Structure 1
Amino acid sequence: MQSRKIIHAALPLSLMLALAACGGGTEETANNKAAPAAEHEEGGNAHADEGKITLSADQIASAGIQTARPLLGGAGTIELPATIDGDPQGTQVVSAAIGGRVVSLTRNLGQAIGRGQTLAIIESREAASLNAETEAARARLSLANSNLAREQRLFSQRVSPEQDLIAARTAATEARIALRLAQQQVAAAGTGGGGLNRIGIVAPMSGQVIGRSVVLGQTVAADAELFRVANLSSVSLSLNLQAQDAGRVRPGATVSVKAGGRHATAKITFVSPALDANTRLVPVIATLDNREGIWRVGEPVTASIALAASGGDSTVHVPLTAVQTDEGKSIVFVRTKTGFQATAVQLGDTAGDSVIIKSGLKGTEEIATVNSFTLKAELGKGEATHEDR
């Protein structure tokens, strides 16, 4: 291993000259004129200075180097495949309440639909029966109201007894209830389809048609699925975690979603309290904003979940900007009384803009977090200077 010496020239040439003018170079010249045998007597002292960079506080400030202590706790992230699903709260199945033949389809896949707008019209004998009952109930109510008005007039003229008025009022009330019931039965099946034998199937919510199971002229049974309508301004992210990882994920945790050059952040809304019987994994659902319409239902994506720290976790985190690479090794620069010491570290998982340090730091050190690349450059200059000698 090639040895490194203490680097005095860690700043631009103007500062180097300023230090030299203050006598920095005189001391080094005097040391160089000393008997060369002294270096051999010290043996490994050159190795003791390996990776050291000597800088004053003013020089550090002038170079824009900032320092901070590592963060303790947390377990980084885990990355796994996931699938985009329609939001369960924003997806509805539109089915046929009665059987019949589809005579009209007003929406196709991908088209927008408003709540209450007609999606399809079904023609059937059951529809005719429902509509006929409504018309008959309406006629009976009209007759009952007419009888009630007549009995009220006769009772006021003292021609008809009060019990006839009460009976007429009761009949009118019953006719009104019968009409309301008939109308509700039609509403449960759909809306007016333009004829006594037709029922219109309407959208239960505003959104987009994401599924259509019928074609024009098809005969469908009662409760058969016709359409799926979804409000895709918000979609769901379906994941499956190992039990040990799911125990460190809570609702509200962030999920980074990536696919095809797109990136977004989702929030976990559900962590299943039970394992899936088939996969032995824990289902997890996150909600993803999709108002721009860039995510598609069924699309595979890559998700990165930030894991919560476990009890007593002393995991060391440092900013990614604090880590540099030297001779194939990851290093961070630890603050010393005279400058910095390049310290080799072993990296773990990344968590946003930070990375876990598996070994090399205790977490109590003060490290360079901003402009650490400047220190790496000066470290390289020091190595080149030593090799020239």
Structure 2
Amino acid sequence: MTVTIAARCAAWSCRLAPALLLLPLAGCGEGGAPAGHNKTEAEPHVAAGEIALSDDQVAAAGITLVRPERGSGGGTIAAPALLEGDPQATQIVSAAIGGRVVSLARNLGDPVRRGETLAVIESREAAALNAEVERAAARAELARANLSRDEALFAKGHRPEREVQTSRAAAREAEVSLNMARQQVAASGLRRGGLNRIVIAAPIGGRVIGRTAMLGQTVAADAELFRVANLTRISVTLSLPPADASRVQPGMTLTLAAPGREGQARVRFVSPVLDSETRLVRVIADLDNRDGRWRVGEPVQVEIRTETGAGPADRLSVPADAVQTIGNRPTVFVRTPAGFRAVPVTLGRRDGPRVIIVSGLTGGERIAATNSFTLKAELGKGDADHGDH
């Protein structure tokens, strides 16, 4: 009987030898011990639910040890987000009338102030608009002269009042035609003194982020030539489940992170309706980008602290990867002098990358975090081998 038990224990050890964690058991049978074991050496007792593991083995397995965090903290919502340009700070620049591009004053990436010239277009239609202004001005001048003459003659009794009224109406109509011709010229961007030149000016200050115009190109009316954006403030856009969105309010601060950078933005908008396709809530925050560190279209990761100062002061939380499910119970592995002990815990809600521990820990323990799943696997192997005895 002793030989059989020893052989079985030796075989069990051989099966675990290739594994990362070698788990010496306190006893393999009735008084038996693995072959080659020195009975005179003291060894820690390993009870059910425990794993014997030295400090060297812990390091070799890549297991990190952490302590539960204690404090009022507050909830954290973590989600992916996208940086977008502020729609109110982005403008598409086009020509009101068609023509040929004869000058380009700005290129991609160039800064520009409001009203500065982006391009100049030469257009026959522009010449026609200028000519119409000249004709309207001449008609208005003639109408004013006729009105002045008729009023003078009427005062001397040489003109009937009806003719004066007719002259006055003609003068008003000529003034309206002149104003309309001038407004059409202004809307087209015609340069003063240039009968056939249209100036394309920047509608806002910012930076040129798009340019389709090329020298010599013939462009149609309303075709996009430039895109100008003020990127000193951009938007952080994310979508949240309704339960998380209900904890977010305008004015809250969110933290965003990308490789090598971190920043903060302020929540501006929480949609009161769900997206019809995703069934999520759209949230938008404003990000100060005067230093130009962030780019439109860039994906980022954000966290929102939703309950600053709320909750019990002694609440505990652990990293989510420290919790394993064993026997349908959430469990953490607590470091002991001999190794680790599996401790069932009661979980609260998820708090970003951490999870709240309602009961099961005191807060003074050291627990396995990274690679704790290897302990779960070794615990399962040990239970299976004990079942063979």
Which TM bucket (shorter chain)? 0.5 to 0.7
User: Which amino acid letter does the alignment assign opposite residue 272 of structure 1?
Assistant: S
CA distance in 2, matches of 1:319, 1:153: 96
Cα deviation for residue 274 of structure 1 reads: 3.7
Cα deviation for residue 293 of structure 1 reads: 2.6
User: Which amino acid letter does the alignment assign opposite residue 101 of structure 2?
Assistant: V
Structure-2 residue corresponding to 1:267: 266
Structure-2 residue corresponding to 1:102: 101
Cα deviation for residue 133 of structure 1 reads: 1.6
Q: 1:141 to 1:300 in 2, by over 3 A?
A: same
User: Which amino acid letter does the alignment assign opposite residue 202 of structure 2?
Assistant: A
CA deviations over 1:197-256 (Å, ceiling 9, x no partner): 232222222222121122112222222111111222211112122333223322222211
CA distance in 1, matches of 2:360, 2:306: 21
CA deviations over 1:111-149 (Å, ceiling 9, x no partner): 222222222222233222222222211221122222222
Q: 1:237 to 1:194 in 2, by over 3 A?
A: farther
Structure-1 residue corresponding to 2:89: 90
The answer (yes or no) to whether the contact 1:121–1:193 under 8 Å persists in 2 is no
The answer (yes or no) to whether the contact 2:93–2:228 under 8 Å persists in 1 is yes
Structure-2 residue corresponding to 1:285: 284
Structure-2 residue corresponding to 1:235: 234
The answer (yes or no) to whether the contact 2:82–2:238 under 8 Å persists in 1 is yes
CA distance in 2, matches of 1:149, 1:239: 68
CA deviations over 1:23-72 (Å, ceiling 9, x no partner): xxxxxxxxxxxxxxxxxxxxxxxxxxxxxxxxxxxxxxxxxxxxxx9549
User: Which amino acid letter does the alignment assign opposite residue 189 of structure 2?
Assistant: G
CA distance in 1, matches of 2:315, 2:142: 83
Q: 1:242 to 1:194 in 2, by over 3 A?
A: farther
The answer (yes or no) to whether the contact 1:84–1:296 under 8 Å persists in 2 is yes
- The range that moved more, 82-91 or 257-266, is 257-266
Cα deviation for residue 257 of structure 1 reads: 1.5
Structure-2 residue corresponding to 1:203: 202
The answer (yes or no) to whether the contact 2:315–2:358 under 8 Å persists in 1 is no
Aligned residues: 274
The answer (yes or no) to whether the contact 1:234–1:290 under 8 Å persists in 2 is yes
Structure-2 residue corresponding to 1:336: none
Q: 1:147 to 1:217 in 2, by over 3 A?
A: same
The answer (yes or no) to whether the contact 2:95–2:200 under 8 Å persists in 1 is yes
Counterparts of 1:29-108 in structure 2, within 5 Å, are 71=72, 74=74, 76-108=75-107
TM-score, scaled relative to structure 1: 0.60
Cα deviation for residue 266 of structure 1 reads: 0.9
CA distance in 1, matches of 2:313, 2:188: 61
The answer (yes or no) to whether the contact 1:316–1:361 under 8 Å persists in 2 is no
The answer (yes or no) to whether the contact 2:204–2:228 under 8 Å persists in 1 is yes
TM-score, scaled relative to structure 2: 0.60
CA deviations over 1:67-106 (Å, ceiling 9, x no partner): xx9549x5x2222222221111211111222222222221
User: Which amino acid letter does the alignment assign opposite residue 137 of structure 1?
Assistant: A
How large is the RMSD of aligned CA atoms in angstroms?
A: 3.8
Structure-1 residue corresponding to 2:304: 305
Counterparts of 1:1-389 in structure 2, within 5 Å, are 71=72, 74=74, 76-192=75-191, 195-307=194-306, 315-316=311-312, 357-360=356-359
5+ unaligned residues in a row in structure 1: which ranges?
1-68, 331-343, 369-389
Cα deviation for residue 329 of structure 1 reads: 5.6
Secondary structure of 1:108's partner?
A: coil
Q: 1:194 to 1:229 in 2, by over 3 A?
A: farther
